[in-house]
């Protein structure tokens, strides 16, 4: 049965129009699915009952199945979704006073193998389809009772978004029907052709780059993708990325004790980002003693000193202690916890 989730208004209208008695009915169906997050045709009360029954027998409106959820003391909620083929992905909802941030996954796993990331340790998985990406948004919005008018979306969950550009692009087209592109952020580990693809989009979301080291040698040590797309090539592409007025590139920098957290590293980072309208998210490592043995977050004083050094050099800095730490809300941690519970998790090596 054809799933209508993750399809553009034009696609939905084209699919259902042959089965509708009047042309405007197909537009109503598209509006219900995209703008009102309908999960059944029975909810579409402005459609005739007979038409609803007919469509129910021809199409489905299906989101990923929620199989696990955990609520943090800080308000963050983590969700684990099951996909049709047995794969699973994670999403996180982070409510704040005036907004709700939804963190979406783009792949069921990740092949990049970043050494500080639980998803990278768990290994590769397939690209998510548009309905699986958009379905995370729909399911979390329903679960937390969020208002779409105040939602921010970040592609900072499982997977590398810019290795799934075909399906990501289709999902972005649908999401942008509800959420302004200026409230959507796509984070990448540094896929240079993917950044170029993102720059060419008409409705362009914001760009975030997971940097995590101020030089090529150390970046390649913890992020193998940097060997394929070296830091200098990545920074050239970022410098050419078109920025609308008021926009900045976000750089994510995971702080790892004794590896990249010295004030001298902060000085190198300042040099690297010189001239780029930017914001730096300093993120103390989310520790996982089972899947990331030996890796530690710096002490709070070292984190503050690093952030202060960036700020004093003129950079806009946010020190982001990851939310939901008590419910394994970092990327891949809830899935990793379930694997551990099943005695199925790998035992990777720690830092050298």
Q: Annotated active-site positions, please? A: 90, 331
Alpha-carbon distance of 188 to 195, in angstroms, equals: 8
Strand ordering across the sheet containing 206-210: 65-71, 77-82, 88-95, 100-103, 151-155, 184-188, 206-210, 249-255, 278-284, 316-319
- φ, ψ for residue 86, nearest 5 deg: 95, -10
Alpha-carbon distance of 251 to 342, in angstroms, equals: 36
Asked if 273 and 280 count as a contact pair (C-beta separation under 8 A), the reply is yes
Place of tokens 């969950």: 157
Distance of CA 77 to the CA centre of its chain: 15
Closest CA to 301 of 268, 255, 352: 255
Asked if 241 and 196 count as a contact pair (C-beta separation under 8 A), the reply is no
Distance of CA 115 to the CA centre of its chain: 18
Residues facing residue 68 across a β-bridge: 80
């Amino acid at each position: 049965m054809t799933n209508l989730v993750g399809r553009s208004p034009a696609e939905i209208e084209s699919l259902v129009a042959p089965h509708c008695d009047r042309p405007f009915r197909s537009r109503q169906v598209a509006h219900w699915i995209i703008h009102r997050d309908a999960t059944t045709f029975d909810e579409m009360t402005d459609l005739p009952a007979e038409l609803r029954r007919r469509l129910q027998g021809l199409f489905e409106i299906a989101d990923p199945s929620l199989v696990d959820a955990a609520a943090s003391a800080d308000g963050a909620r983590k969700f684990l979704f099951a996909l049709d083929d047995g794969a699973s992905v994670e999403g996180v909802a982070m409510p704040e006073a005036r907004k709700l941030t939804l963190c979406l996954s783009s792949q069921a796993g990740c092949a990049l193998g970043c050494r500080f990331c639980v998803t990278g340790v768990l290994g590769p998985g397939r690209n998510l389809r548009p309905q699986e990406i958009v379905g995370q948004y729909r399911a979390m919005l329903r679960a937390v009772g969020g208002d779409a008018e105040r939602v921010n979306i970040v592609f900072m969950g499982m997977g590398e978004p810019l290795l799934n550009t075909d399906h990501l692009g289709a999902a972005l087209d649908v999401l942008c029907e509800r959420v302004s592109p200026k409230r959507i952020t796509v984070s990448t580990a540094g896929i240079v052709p993917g950044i170029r693809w993102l720059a060419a989009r008409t409705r362009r979301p914001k760009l975030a780059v997971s940097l995590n080291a101020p030089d090529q040698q150390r970046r390649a040590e913890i992020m193998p993708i940097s060997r394929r797309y070296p830091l200098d090539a990545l920074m050239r592409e970022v410098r050419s990325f078109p920025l609308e007025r008021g926009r900045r590139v976000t750089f994510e920098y995971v702080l790892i004790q004794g590896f990249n957290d010295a004030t001298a590293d902060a000085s190198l980072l300042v040099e690297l980002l010189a001239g780029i309208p930017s914001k730096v998210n300093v993120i103390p490592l989310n520790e996982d003693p089972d899947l990331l043995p030996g890796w530690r977050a710096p002490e709070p004083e070292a984190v503050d000193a690093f952030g202060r050094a960036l700020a004093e050099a003129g950079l806009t800095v946010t020190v982001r202690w990851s939310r939901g730490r008590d419910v394994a809300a970092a990327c891949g941690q809830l899935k990793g916890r379930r694997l551990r519970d099943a005695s199925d998790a790998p035992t990777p090596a720690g830092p050298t």
